[in-house]
Amino acid sequence: MAALCLFTWIVLGGNAVAHTSLVEETAPADGYYRVRFLVAHGCDTSPTHTVRIQIPRGVEFISAWHKPGWIVNTVPSLGASDDDRTELVKEVVWTGSKIPANEYDYFEIQVRLPDEEGRVLYFKTIQICDEGDLRWIEIPEEGKSADDYESPAPALTLTAH
């Protein structure tokens, strides 16, 4: 009994602490790159049925990596882009399936990163569950880091080419 409790506590406790985050937290600036998001859990016991990821300013969205069972939609940004040939994508949305509350899943997008070494890109993410939602949208204030927050936005730091 005690072992079961301990086990449950470790598994669930561990999951309760895990944020939705990036698998790789650094990437070289100015190049094509696959950003991988790890969704670690649902809303308490409720499964996730929608994932929305906001594309930061300066990042060009190329395509989403296909996930069987899921449908991908993009939301264009309002306002003109410099380049009239392509519409800038502001948000990518996955729907159509569910991630059980206690399971991991990956979501991947192919982007072109801006040529700004040292900049931290925040890919704000919202998980919408059957009951409730989780918003990973907190950006650390001056003098603080992501560890100081409960729901920090997944962050990608740009390094040299």
Q: Does 103 bind another protein (CB under 8 A)?
A: no
Residue 161, classed as helix, strand or coil, is coil
Site for another protein in 44-73 (CB under 8 A): 52, 54
Rounded CA separation 53/51 (Å)? 7
Cβ burial, residue 111 (10 Å; 0-12/13-18/19+): buried
Least separation in angstroms between CB 3 and another protein: 30
Q: Which is nearer to another protein, 29 or 154 (CB)?
A: 154
Residue 127, classed as helix, strand or coil, is strand
Figure out which of the listed residues 82, 141, 142, 147 binds another protein, where binding follows CB under 8 A.
141
Pure H helices in 18-144: none
Q: Which is nearer to another protein, 48 or 54 (CB)?
A: 54
Rounded CA separation 108/102 (Å)? 20
Tell which residue, 140, 150, 156, 130, has the closest CA to residue 24: 156
Neighbour count for residue 82 (Cβ, 10 Å): 5
The site for another protein, by CB under 8 A, has a size of: 8
Q: Does 138 bind another protein (CB under 8 A)?
A: yes
Site for another protein in 80-99 (CB under 8 A): none
The stretch near another protein (CB under 8 A) out of 2-10, 57-65, 97-105, 132-140 is 132-140
Figure out which of the listed residues 111, 126, 134, 156 binds another protein, where binding follows CB under 8 A.
126
